A and B are shown apart, each in its own frame.
Chain A
Amino acid sequence: MSGPRTAYLLNLGVVEYREAWDVQRSLAAAVSQGAIPDTVLLLEHPAVVTVGRLTGAGELHLPAGAEVDVVETDRGGRSTYHGPGQLVCYPLLDLNRHGRDVKRYCRNLEEAVISTLAAFELAGERIEGLTGVWLRPPPRKICSIGVHISRWVTTHGYALNVDLDTRPFTEWITACGLDDAAFTTIASEVGRAVAVDEVRPVAAAALEEVLGLAFEELPADEGAGLWSQPTHARLASR
């Protein structure tokens, strides 16, 4: 029985969506050639609507004057919303080392989120055919999943609603293309304010457990040479 595999963990704080995307892609390149081990990014995004490959017409209905970026991404899934108060997790894993199975990978992400929610005494569930994590009844979505794979290396991941206004999921977009879906957060379920800082270590531990990893946490600037310098310089200058 071999032990867990070392992986890097980077807590990046609040990072603009496109900037984080650049970081993901350059780190994923390094992961894919074995220059660095599997790497997991935990962060939050400023308010942004992202559109996946399968986003349908009519999913976006931003109110005039809404202060939000719209970004077209390469992840699977449809439209979604990110904002401060949502824990975003981007595992950059070489699935050659985790069983080359995209469904199992999605189930593993769900498992990690369910186990994270359990620490807050919430019973997250899967709903067949609706990738993500839900609470019910009635069904309320608490975590969205969307993944991109290139040469078996993953980018994107999950977004767990910790404490944020969920109205944009329905008022700005028809998130995930689900017309009648309700969205919820950990805070509104447990009835108190919950900080992303409180959830992050729990989420990291759950990922270690489910994916068989042992995180070595790097300070955000330790990644210096790991990604393209301009992005790094911006991150380091914070």
Chain B
Amino acid sequence: MASTVVDVVMPQMGVSVSEGTITRWLKQEGEAVAFDEPLLEISTDKVDTEVPSPGAGVLQRILVQEGETVEVGTRLAVIAAAGAEPSPAPASAPPQAPPEPAAAPERAEPEPAEPGPAPAVPGAGDGRSFVSPVVARIASEHGVDVARVPGTGHGGRVTKKDILAYIESGGAGAPPAPAAAEPAAPPPPGPEAGPAPTAAPAPPPPPAAAPGPRVPPPPAEAAPPPPAPPPPEPPAPAPGEIVEPMTAMRRGIAEHMRRSLDTSAHVTTVFEVDMTKVVAIREKLKPQYQAAYGVNPTYLAFVARATIEAIRNWPWMNAEVRGESIVVKQYVNLGIAVALEGGKGLIVPVIKNAEGYNLLGLARAIADVAERARAKKLVPDDVQGGTFTITNPGGWGAIIGTPIISQPQVAILDVEALVKRPVVIADEAGNDVIAIRPMMNLCLSYDHRLVDGAYAAQFMKELRENLESWDEATY
């Protein structure tokens, strides 16, 4: 039973926030709810917050009604996983709910206390009601601001053990350092490359990264995960070093990349493709397309078209791992990684329903989103809902890459440089000869949680065949 039921708990909305009021249930008992869909709204101070559902299924029972105020960590509702037998709900919520912040309205890592809170604000918070006298005494003896100590107690409360560990770790007497939360790692120096580094981040945070549905809720008495130690103060820049803050987008990318590696079991496979036929067709189409439509049929467009065609037969390439379910998309929303000028970051605009485009349509759509991305003219809708991503570092001469998957997708295709190489082929008489051929490597990173090597290789084989035997009538 435990594995099919997910608890919704009052999330922790700040170190000094001990309780919240339910303002509105957005779903009623018995109603279906999707993972990450807004489930209820809570109010703390003058702030209303949407709480997304920690699991998919049916809202089986609401335990705390609108208007009631409860402590952080209190069980608010129970969601029965889709397909689970409806189970009799407990008569009342246990007061000591699992501290697992399953419903926390963020991307869900167990939350250590904020490493670098802002300088104390006069009158801020009511942290005192949250601290035992022992902890308060230790704090004042050592000159520690309790708000800075990661709490592991119920609802994030700071225990005696926490504060002693904090003092032990050298936290005491440290100057208030908001910068601690912002390690000032300088971005790599030098000219930033243009489009499409190896990896393609998607800006949207991946709901699949939340632990909610995958991890059965811990038993009520389970200890919360231990907090991470406070991050060390970044060292002052040494002579010869230049320090600058990361931009918001840089941080977003950094966070997404790290989270993707933590989520998916990345494997990369590389296929080499003989592009002789594509090159010939492109040479023929290029003047036609440019004269008639002002569009350049790029190699990227050819690869994108062939990829979409291959996805038809290998649908798990266009899917998502959602909790313990596999969600296959019947449409292809194709993400194209685009680097912004001046190394300002990377964005993945999405071509919606790309399966409906022929080569010309795709070439035009790719040019359009890339241009709008660089001109910062994308609307939010343009970057959401991708189901498969293509990144294109080949324009800079790259020949092999291991791209990082854009969550919650399960695959990303890296299009490498077209290079003339000597290859062994069979001549008309069936003898081996060495020929000069335009070769292109395609590198696919896939999520081995869902896709096995044989499946990925067969997908790639079909993609290669689509390109090597390009059929103008079909594409």
Binding site for B on A (CB under 8 A): 1-7, 26, 29-30, 32-38, 52-54, 74-77, 94, 96-108, 110-111, 126, 128, 131-132, 145-152, 210, 212, 224-229
Residues of B within 8 A of A35 (CB): 203, 249, 347, 378, 380, 383
A53 to B252, CA, bound (A): 31
Which A residues touch B43, using CB under 8 A? 53-54, 76
| Interface contact B182-A2, CB-CB below 8 Å | yes
**Other-chain residue from A6, A146, A228 in contact with B46 (beta carbon distance below 8 A):** A146
- Hey, which chain A residues are within 8 Å of B243, CB to CB? 2
**A226-B184 Cα distance, complex, nearest whole Å:** 28
Is B263 at the interface (CB under 8 A from chain A)?
Answer: no
Are B47 and A148 touching (Cβ within 8 A)? yes
In the complex, are the beta carbons of B248 and A34 less than 8 A apart?
Answer: yes
A2 contacts B245, C-beta separation under 8 Å: yes
Bin the interface of chain B by size: 35 or more
The answer, yes or no, to whether B41 is at the interface (CB within 8 Å) is yes
Q: Which residues of B contact A100 (CB under 8 A)?
A: 12-14, 106, 111, 114
Instruction: For the complex of A and B, list the 4 residue pairs with the smallest distance between their C-beta atoms, beginning with the closest.
Output: A34-B252, A101-B14, A225-B377, A37-B248
15 contacts between A and B (CB under 8 A): A36-B376, A52-B48, A76-B43, A76-B44, A96-B106, A100-B12, A102-B45, A103-B44, A104-B121, A105-B47, A126-B123, A148-B48, A149-B48, A150-B50, A151-B52
Given contacts A26-B379, A152-B105, A99 and B245 within 8 Å (CB-CB): no
Q: Does B179 contact A (CB under 8 A)?
A: yes
Supposing A34-B248, A35-B380 touch, asked if A103 and B375 sit within 8 A by C-beta, the answer is: no
Q: Which residue of A lies closest to B52 (CB)?
A: A151
The distance from the CB of B253 to the nearest CB of chain A, in whole angstroms, is 7
Chain B residues, CB < 8 A from A110: 121
Please name all residues of chain A whose beta carbon is closer than 8 Å to the beta carbon of B117 when the two chains form the complex: 99, 101, 104
The 8 Å CB contact of B121, one of A54, A76, A111, A151, is A111
Closest to B182 in A: A2
Closest partner residue, chain A, to B44 (CB atom): A102
Interface centre among A3, A103, A227 (most CB of B within 10 A): A103
Query: Are B252 and A151 in contact (CB-based, < 8 A)?
Result: no
Closest to A53 in B: B23
Residues of A within 8 Å of B48, CB to CB, are 52-53, 74-76, 147-149
Q: In the assembly, what is the distance between CA of A126 and CA of B378, in Å?
A: 41
B23 touches A151 (CB 8 A): no
A225 vs B41: C-alpha distance in the bound complex, in angstroms?
30
B12 to chain A: which residues have CB within 8 Å?
100
State whether A101 touches B16 (Cβ < 8 A). Answer: yes
Q: A74-B48, A103-B17 are in contact. Are A34 and B253 (CB under 8 A)?
A: yes
| Residue numbers in B under 8 Å from A30 (CB-CB) | 380
Whether the Cβ atoms of A4 and B245 lie closer than 8 Å is: yes
| 0/1 string, B372-401, CB within 8 A of A gives 1 | 100111111001100000000000000000
Taking CB atoms, residues of chain A closer than 8 Å to B279 are none
In contact, A150 and B248 (Cβ under 8 angstroms): no
Q: List residues of chain B with CB within 8 A of the CB of A33.
A: 202-205, 252, 380, 383-384
Partner of A53, one of B41, B178, B245, B376: B41
> Does the CB pair B114–A225 fall under 8 Å?
no
Of A99, A107, A151, the contact of B50 (CB 8 Å cutoff): A151
Separation in Å of the B201 CB from the closest CB of chain A? 8
B451 adjacent to chain A (CB < 8 Å): no
Given A32-B205, A225-B372, 12 additional A-B pairs, CB 8 A: A2-B179, A33-B203, A38-B248, A76-B47, A94-B248, A99-B117, A100-B13, A101-B14, A101-B117, A102-B17, A103-B14, A151-B105
Closest residue to A7 on the B side, CB-wise?
B248
Shortest CB-to-CB span from A145 to chain B, Å, is 5
List residues of chain B with CB within 8 A of the CB of A76: 43-48
CB of A119, distance to nearest CB on chain B (Å): 18
**B169 neighbours in A (Cβ, 8 Å):** none
Nearest CB in chain B to that of A77: its residue: B46
Interface residues of B in 118-161 (CB under 8 A from A): 118, 121-125
Q: How far is the CB of A231 from chain B (nearest CB, A)?
A: 11
In the complex, whether B353 has a CB less than 8 A from a CB of chain A is no
Residues of chain A within 8 A of B45, CB atoms compared: 76, 102-103, 106, 131
Question: B38, B46, B52 — which one has the most chain A CB atoms within 10 A of its CB?
Answer: B46
B181 at the interface (CB under 8 A from A): yes
Chain A residues with Cβ under 8 A from B227's Cβ? none
Chain B residues positioned under 8 Å from A111 (CB to CB): 121
The answer to whether A104 touches B248, judged by C-beta atoms less than 8 angstroms apart, is no
In the complex, the answer to whether A99 meets B116 with C-beta atoms within 8 Å is yes
Query: How far apart are the CA atoms of A37 and B256 in the complex, in Å?
Result: 15
Q: Do A150 and B49 form a contact, CB below 8 Å, given A104-B14, A226-B376?
A: yes
A102 engages B123 (CB within 8 Å): no
**Residue on B nearest A144 in the bound complex, by CB:** B46
Closest beta carbon of chain B to A15's beta carbon, Å: 19
- Does the CB pair B179–A1 fall under 8 Å? yes
A3 to B48, CA, bound (A): 30
In whole angstroms, how far apart are the Cα atoms of A94 and B111 in the complex?
A: 16
Docked Cα-Cα span, A33 to B46, in Å, equals 25
Q: Which residues of A contact B47 (CB under 8 A)?
A: 76, 102, 105-106, 147-149
B286 in the interface, Cβ–Cβ < 8 Å? Answer: no
Nearest-Cβ distance from residue B182 to partner chain A, whole angstroms: 4
Contacts of B253 in A (CB 8 A): 34
